[in-house]
Amino acid sequence: MLAGVLYFHRISDLTMDWISMMNFNVFRKLCGESTLRNAVIVTNMWGQVDFQIGEAREVELMREDIFFKPVFDRGAQIARNENTVASAQDIIRLVLDSHPRPLCIQEEIVDEHKDISATSASGELNREINAQIKKHREEMRAVKEMRVLKEEMHVLKEEMRTMMHVLKEDMCVLKEEMWAMRRENEEEMRAVRRENEDTRKELQKMQRETETR
């Protein structure tokens, strides 16, 4: 039977990361809801943070459901470890008069004869780990999809570059063909003008001959 259980949290942490959340959730399952009244959340590392910032974080930890509020609602207490003998003694005094209770994991192993792998704490740990494995796999799948997309974009870019090169060559050929056609048309027009000029001269000659007669 334990009169108290201490859970330590660094007040210097900007927020609770996945490891911290997992540790806290496993801690709750180890204790069990009815034993949380004997728990004390101890914040330490106060010397590594501005005091006002530390106080603000402490309030947030106590008020937010995603942090420590659920255990405070069930009777848990909070204390500061200021790295002094006096603060350590104050923390111990919080649990001296508590009524000793068994932890949930003790009841599960001793009374219910469960294997430790079948306890609530182990289940919570496995759940958290499996959630992270699933998240990691999803992230890896997303990275793989991004890599495939990047490769496809690279192939498309190369195809576009090849297409533009072919189009440029086709435009050059078309340009040469148009210049050739233009020169040919100009030659034909000059030939037509020469032919018209010859015809005009022939008509004028015939006209003069007619007038002479």
% of the chain residues with pLDDT over 90: 31
In whole angstroms, how far apart are CA 100 and each of 5, 14, 30, 106, 205?
Answer: 10, 34, 15, 13, 140
pLDDT digits (tens, 9 = 90+) for 138-158: 888 888 888 888 888 888 888
Residue 29 covered by a domain: yes
Domain around 88: 5-114
Residue 64 covered by a domain: yes
pLDDT digits (tens, 9 = 90+) for 54-109: 999 999 999 988 889 999 999 999 999 999 999 999 999 999 888 899 988 888 88
Give pLDDT, residue 213: 62
Domains of the chain: total: 1
- For residue 108, the 8-state DSSP code is I
Give pLDDT, residue 34: 87
Rounded-to-integer distance, Cα 206 and Cα 213, Å: 11
pLDDT digits (tens, 9 = 90+) for 14-51: 888 888 888 888 898 999 988 999 999 999 999 999 99
pLDDT digits (tens, 9 = 90+) for 167-187: 888 888 888 888 888 888 888
Residue 185 covered by a domain: no
Residue 165 covered by a domain: no
| Mean pLDDT calculated for residue range 113-140 | 82
Give pLDDT, residue 73: 92
Residue 91 covered by a domain: yes
Residue 70 covered by a domain: yes
3-state secondary structure of 8: strand
Helix H, strand E, coil C: the string for 10-53 is ECCCCCCCHHHHHHHHHHHHHHCHHHHHHEEEEEECHHHCCHHH
Residue 144 covered by a domain: no
Residue 89 covered by a domain: yes
